[in-house]
């Protein structure tokens, strides 16, 4: 594991009984000593769960053409953002397929902050810096200096408020504020990947351990990667490498809502328009098993007895049972009897709206 | 780590309790801890015959799917249906309520370890 990176909280994870695995180039805890199910339950049932997601990357975009640049390299309409607002978006290539999905933070007209996936960081930064050559902007990779924590669950606001002078009540859904967190400058946004109310906290590495410990003292519950994946899958949130990748466009991935074809030119636009008019190659759907079983990634999906696609994320939801996100042929997205093949057996499933369980985000 | 003295163990971390020609199968405390939270158990059909080290059940934890292997050969005569509703019993009581199946033995196995041998095996 020598090539793997450690976050500033690595020793803290080990001390808490974290079972360390390799994930996106980092050594991260898949679970702590009480196990993933208890962690999941803590977040869903009212605690404040704390996640070390420092592996995610952060990129600052500054300059007089920052808006123009981001309109060109991201899919969503950045001109719609007000200062202090966050937007879910994506980076596409010229083929219209995903380089990454990202969040865009607007600090002001000439300064933005992007949060990107760990596994795509170097690819994203190289792409952004190459495109930046044509604009009056500076793209800086701040990932190595920044610790990112998520605090998610009904108690998140009360717990976090004890550490910061930012008035969290005033930070709305997909809004952020900059301020003082245990004496250091940081960013707090009301965003997350769990379907619960909560925050993501960007702080300098130097204060990471202090903030982590202070949150634990406020009875925040440490949550590993396994529970994080359960929580996001129950919401039907896309994960790069699963639902989205460089082989699908937003048309297939049900992400046209973040792809604004009417905002002017952007990388991948022509390809997305073409795909939209010729029709999706496959469609992402949500499935729930009718009988016992757990769908897993890459399990085959059959419709009317024909192999139609495969599961991209699947799990046992303590609340909803066996649930899956899957790609199927477009004609099977809404019609036909669906089953998922589990160890050679066809287990019947039904299409279901997302999320699989109720979301408690404060919109 | 609990390793009861009245059981035999395999290198795949299954345990077997042999009483006359009836053998009860389960997975060891070490195995359940390594698997993590068990959320699904696929039990074998009653009447099926299994060979030594043959996969006879499937256990799924939050993150992984694992085959469970028979420590000795025989015919499945009883399965722990309670695990279908409470698979977590394999985590909380691996040697008790977490048992998986009982077989009428058709032969033994040279590969089984005593509790002391299994303890040494785990340490290695």
Q: SS3 of B106, please? A: coil
Measured from the Cβ of residue A50, the count of other Cβ atoms closer than 10 Å reads: 26
Q: What are the beta bridge partners of residue A339? A: A302, A348
Give the pLDDT band (50/70/90) at residue A214. Answer: very high
Q: SS3 of B30, please? A: helix
By the CB < 8 Å criterion, does B58 face chain A?
yes
- Same domain, yes or no, for A229 and A173? yes
**pLDDT for B63:** 84
Q: SS3 of B113, please? A: strand
pLDDT tens across A316-337, in order? Answer: 999 999 999 999 999 999 999 9
Q: Which CATH number fits domain B8-105: 2.40.50.100, 3.90.1150.220, 3.40.50.410, 3.40.190.10?
A: 2.40.50.100
Instruction: Write the residue in B42, B60, B62 that is nearest to A37 by C-beta.
Output: B62
**pLDDT for A1:** 46
| Cα–Cα distance measured from residue A153 to residue A43, given in angstroms and rounded to the nearest whole number | 5
Inter-residue contact A294 to A316 (CB < 8 Å): yes
By the CB < 8 Å criterion, does A37 face chain B?
yes
Q: What spatial distance separates the first Cα and last Cα of chain A, rounded to whole Å?
A: 41
Nearest to A230 by CA among A362, A103, A356, A363: A356
By the CB < 8 Å criterion, does B39 face chain A?
yes
Are A292 and B84 inside 8 Å of each other by CB? Answer: yes
- Same domain, yes or no, for A186 and A334? no
What CATH code is carried by the domain that includes residue A229? Answer: 3.30.1360.120
**A363 pLDDT higher than 90:** no
Which DSSP symbol is given to B57? Answer: E
pLDDT tens across A120-151, in order? Answer: 999 999 999 999 999 999 999 999 999 999 99
* Residues in CB range of A130: below 8 A, 6 or more apart: none
A84-110 average pLDDT score: 98
**pLDDT for A344:** 95
Is A133 inside any structural domain?
no
- Same domain, yes or no, for A296 and A227? no
Q: Kindly give the pairing relationship between strand A111-116 and strand B74-79.
A: unpaired
Query: A311: which 2 tokens?
Result: 């599961």
Is A347 inside any structural domain?
yes
Q: Which of A43, A291, A292 to mutate to test the interface with B (most CBs of B within 10 A)?
A: A292
| Cα–Cα distance measured from residue B50 to residue A143, given in angstroms and rounded to the nearest whole number | 54
B52 Cα to chain A: minimum distance (Å): 21
- Same domain, yes or no, for A194 and A297? no
- CA A272 → CA A89, A257, A259, distances in Å? 15, 13, 9
Domain count, chain A: 2
A308-319 average pLDDT score: 97
Is A229 inside any structural domain?
yes
Considering only CB atoms, which chain A residues are within 8 Å of B40?
Answer: 292-294, 316
- Asked if the bond preceding B107 is cis, omega within 30° of 0, the reply is no
By the CB < 8 Å criterion, does B46 face chain A?
no
A247-256 average pLDDT score: 97
- Same domain, yes or no, for A151 and A294? no
**pLDDT for A3:** 84
Closest chain B residue to A293, measured at CA: B40
Measured from the Cβ of residue B19, the count of other Cβ atoms closer than 10 Å reads: 10
A99-128 average pLDDT score: 97
- CA A47 → CA A63, A311, B13, B36, B95, distances in Å? 41, 31, 35, 22, 33
Considering only CB atoms, which chain A residues are within 8 Å of B65?
Answer: 294, 296
Are A37 and B37 inside 8 Å of each other by CB? Answer: yes
Is A169 inside any structural domain?
yes
- Mean pLDDT (chain A, rounded): 97
- Same domain, yes or no, for A216 and A152? yes
pLDDT tens across B18-64, in order? Answer: 999 999 999 999 999 999 999 999 999 999 999 999 999 999 999 89
**pLDDT for A2:** 59
Are A31 and B36 inside 8 Å of each other by CB? Answer: yes
A49-61 average pLDDT score: 97
Q: Which domain holds residue A170?
A: 5-55+144-235
Give the pLDDT band (50/70/90) at residue A174. Answer: very high
pLDDT tens across B70-116, in order? Answer: 999 999 999 999 999 999 999 999 999 999 999 999 987 778 999 99
| Cα–Cα distance measured from residue B91 to residue A147, given in angstroms and rounded to the nearest whole number | 35
Instruction: Write the residue in A35, A293, A296 that is nearest to B36 by C-beta.
Output: A35
By the CB < 8 Å criterion, does A298 face chain B?
no
Question: Which of A201, A235, A269 is a domain's end point?
Answer: A235
**pLDDT for A290:** 97
Closest chain A residue to B32, measured at CA: A35
Judging by beta carbons within 10 Å of its beta carbon (0-12, 13-18, 19+), is residue A256 exposed, middle or buried? Answer: middle
By the CB < 8 Å criterion, does A20 face chain B?
no
Question: Which of A235, A258, A292 is a domain's end point?
Answer: A235
How is chain B split into domains, by residue range?
8-105
- The count of CB pairs under 8 A between chains A and B is 38
């Amino acid at each position: 594991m020598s090539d793997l990176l450690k976050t500033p909280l690595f020793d803290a994870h080990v001390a808490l009984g974290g079972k360390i695995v390799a994930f996106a180039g980092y050594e991260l805890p898949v679970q702590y000593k009480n196990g993933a199910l208890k962690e999941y339950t803590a977040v869903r049932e009212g605690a404040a769960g704390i996640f070390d997601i420092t592996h995610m990357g952060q990129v600052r975009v500054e300059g007089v053409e920052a808006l123009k640049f981001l309109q060109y390299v991201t899919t969503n309409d950045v001109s719609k953002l007000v200062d202090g607002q966050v937007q879910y978006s994506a980076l596409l290539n010229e083929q219209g397929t995903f380089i990454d999905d990202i969040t865009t933070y607007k600090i002001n007209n000439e300064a933005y902050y992007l949060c990107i996936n760990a596994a795509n960081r170097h690819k994203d930064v190289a792409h952004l810096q190459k495109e930046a050559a044509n604009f009056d902007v500076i793209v800086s990779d701040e990932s190595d200096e920044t610790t990112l924590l998520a605090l998610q669950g009904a108690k998140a606001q009360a717990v976090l408020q004890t550490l910061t002078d930012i008035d969290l009540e005033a930070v709305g859904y997909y809004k952020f504020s900059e301020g003082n967190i245990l004496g250091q400058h940081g960013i707090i946004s009301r965003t997350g990947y769990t379907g619960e109310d909560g925050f993501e906290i960007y702080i300098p590495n130097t204060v990471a351990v202090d903030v982590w410990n202070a949150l634990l003292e406020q009875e925040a519950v440490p949550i590993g990667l396994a529970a994080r994946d359960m929580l996001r899958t129950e919401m039907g949130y896309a994960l790069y490498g699963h639902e989205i990748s460089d082989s699908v466009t937003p048309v297939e991935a049900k992400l046209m809502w973040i792809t604004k074809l009417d905002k002017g030119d952007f990388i991948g636009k022509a390809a997305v328009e073409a795909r939209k008019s010729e029709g999706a190659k496959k469609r992402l759907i949500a499935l729930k098993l009718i009988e016992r079983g757990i769908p897993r990634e890459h399990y085959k999906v059959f419709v009317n007895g024909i192999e139609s696609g495969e599961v991209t994320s699947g799990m046992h939801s303590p609340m909803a049972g066996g649930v899956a996100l899957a790609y199927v042929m477009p004609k099977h997205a809404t019609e036909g009897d669906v089953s998922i093949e589990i160890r050679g057996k066809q287990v019947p499933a039904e299409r279901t709206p997302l999320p699989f369980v109720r979301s408690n985000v404060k919109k | 780590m609990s390793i009861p003295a009245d059981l035999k163990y395999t290198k795949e971390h299954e345990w077997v309790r042999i009483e006359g020609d009836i053998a009860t199968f389960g997975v060891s405390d070490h195995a359940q801890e390594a698997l993590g939270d068990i959320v699904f158990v696929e039990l074998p059909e009653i009447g099926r015959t299994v060979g030594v080290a043959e996969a006879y059940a499937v256990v799924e934890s939050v993150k992984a799917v694992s085959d469970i292997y028979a420590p000795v050969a025989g015919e499945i005569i009883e399965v722990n249906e309670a695990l279908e509703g409470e698979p977590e019993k394999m985590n909380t009581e691996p040697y008790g309520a977490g048992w998986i199946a009982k077989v009428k033995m058709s032969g033994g196995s040279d590969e089984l370890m005593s509790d002391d041998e299994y303890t040494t095996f785990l340490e290695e």
